[in-house]
Amino acid sequence: MTNQVFSLSRRGLLAGLGGAALASGLRQPAMARTATSLTIRARPGTLSAGPTGSLPIGTLETADPAPLRVARGDLAVTLSNELPAPIVLNWLGIDGAPIAEPLTGQPPIAPGGRASFTLPLRRSGTFLISGQILGDSAAPPVASRALIVEDTPPVAVERDEILLIEQWRAKPGDTAVMYTVNGRTNFKLQAKGNERLRLRIINGCARAPLGLKIENHDVRVMAIDSAPAEPFTARDGQLVLAPGTRIDALIDATRAPGTVSQIILHDGSKPQSIAQIVMTNDTPARATPLPPASAFSSETLPARLPLQGAQRVDLSLDPKTPWIAPASFAAATAPVFKVKPGRVVVMAVANPGGGPMVFRLHGHHVRLLDKLDDGWKPFWLDTLMLDKGQTQRIAFLAEYPGRWLMEATALTSSAPNLVSCYAVE
């Protein structure tokens, strides 16, 4: 039964996505074998849709269907396309990999084609491999894959669980939608008393912002968009995720045996339970809960961004020039702006349109600035939401030379997915 108290309006959901909702004897988990190479086959598949049967989808198939867990360092990737439409992969959260950058570094692969490249993985965290960047022209829609780059040393938790949430329609334009967690319509986690769980929560939806509420538990946010955050407790167990956003959270299972805690999803229309945390009757993991965890390591990100003397850029998300459809983008497309390596950029991103937009910056993580440019939120982002008429100010250090994509996506399925680029040179 869903908790009807969790009732986000659409505007409340968008406000959370602007950053306000986020500002507020232990053993190591058993991990899958890490790898230094990865072969992906984009191929046809099906998704179980319950009583309505199954949906044709595209899958990103690997030799091992288990979650993809790799070590930091260079990852050799081979992608073959067995789908009836071109595909290009979007590696959300991975900075500084120009050869793997969609469209600027890797053109779409035609049906029957193949590509290989090396992906430098500088940072541990939760990443997303998505085949959705070409938008609704992709047929059928392609399921995403989570990519975990392991922490060194590992974060001490009993359980390390991925919750990849995706939205599906029987056909493009349908108003009825179905949500899955890790490809399933009902997902259940079992926990012993006082166990510590790491939940890697991923919004794999192409256009749907999501509000989540985890009942009965304190939710301690540790990382956002594949980068460590200053830890904080989510108010009332509620999280807000823009399309593509990733949040790592720690939960200590302290409820009584037999307690069933719903994980409730709200997409701005109505709440629904998409998963459960069930307390078992097994012997507790320890007598008392653990103390709060310290922050994850962030040694690969700059400690401070000197905003004085930064290069200033105004960027409008108006769906006109410089924005174009991904299918029309060429590697020689002129960048919207250029910046020299090592310089800080402050961007004012404005949404003058009639509806909310998702903006994503590739190649670098950004800080969301306070309104007076006198500080920033205590987390890094690569994706943010802007309501109609809203302007957000962000800053980043241009560390990695190359040509990097920018995405602007409206929430309505009838609106085009748009891209542009900037250059660090």
Q: What is the dihedral of CA 276, 280, 286, 288, to 10 degrees?
A: 60
Q: How confident is the model at residue 138 (pLDDT cuts 50, 70, 90)?
A: low
Q: How confident is the model at residue 249 (pLDDT cuts 50, 70, 90)?
A: very high
| Secondary structure (3-state) at 21 | helix
Q: What is the dihedral of CA 181, 187, 189, 190, to 10 degrees?
A: -170
Is the pLDDT score of 28 beyond 60?
no
Lowest mean pLDDT among 166-170, 207-211, 337-341, 356-360: 166-170
Residue 152: per-residue pLDDT: 86
Alpha carbon distance 312, 323 (integer Å): 19
Is the pLDDT score of 412 beyond 90?
no
CA angle centred on 330, ends 327 and 334, rounded to 5°: 125
Is the pLDDT score of 18 beyond 70?
no
Alpha carbon distance 173, 169 (integer Å): 8
Q: Where in the chain is the domain with CATH 2.60.40.420?
A: 10-24+154-279, 37-149, 311-424
Q: What is the mean pLDDT of residues 140-151?
A: 94
Q: What is the mean pLDDT of residues 270-291?
A: 94
pLDDT tens per residue, range 316-372:
999 887 899 999 999 889 999 999 999 999 999 999 988 899 999 999 999 999 977
Q: What residue type is 92 in one-letter code?
A: L
Alpha carbon distance 351, 71 (integer Å): 38
* Percent of the chain clearing pLDDT 90 (strictly above): 74
Residue 10: per-residue pLDDT: 56
Which CATH class name applies to 10-24+154-279?
Answer: mainly beta
What CATH topology corresponds to 37-149? Immunoglobulin-like (2.60.40)
Q: What is the mean pLDDT of residues 403-421?
A: 89
Strand ranges of the sheet holding 260-266, from the earlier edge strand across to the other edge: 187-191, 271-279, 260-266, 210-214, 238-241
Is the pLDDT score of 42 beyond 70?
yes
Residue 321: per-residue pLDDT: 78
Q: What is the mean pLDDT of residues 224-253?
A: 96
How would CATH label the architecture of 311-424? Sandwich (2.60)
How far are the Cα atoms of 37, 250, 351, 398 from residue 291, in angstroms, in the given order?
A: 37, 12, 42, 37
Query: Rounded to an integer, what is the distance from CA 42 to the centroid of its chain?
Result: 20
- The number of CA neighbours under 13 Å toward the Cβ of 294 is 2
Give this prediction's pTM: 0.92
Q: Give the DSSP per-residue string, 45-110.
A: EEEE-GGG-EEEEEEEE-SS-S-EEE-SEEEEEEEEE-SSS-B--EEET--S-GGGSBTTTBPPBP
Residue 46: per-residue pLDDT: 92
Q: How confident is the model at residue 30 (pLDDT cuts 50, 70, 90)?
A: very low
How far are the Cα atoms of 59, 66, 97, 110, 146 from residue 125, in angstroms, in the given order?
A: 23, 17, 16, 31, 10
Residue 363: per-residue pLDDT: 97
Is the pLDDT score of 11 beyond 50?
yes
**Across all residues in the chain, what is the average pLDDT?**
89
| Secondary structure (3-state) at 136 | helix
Lowest mean pLDDT among 5-14, 45-54, 97-106: 5-14
Alpha carbon distance 70, 125 (integer Å): 10
Residue 166: per-residue pLDDT: 96
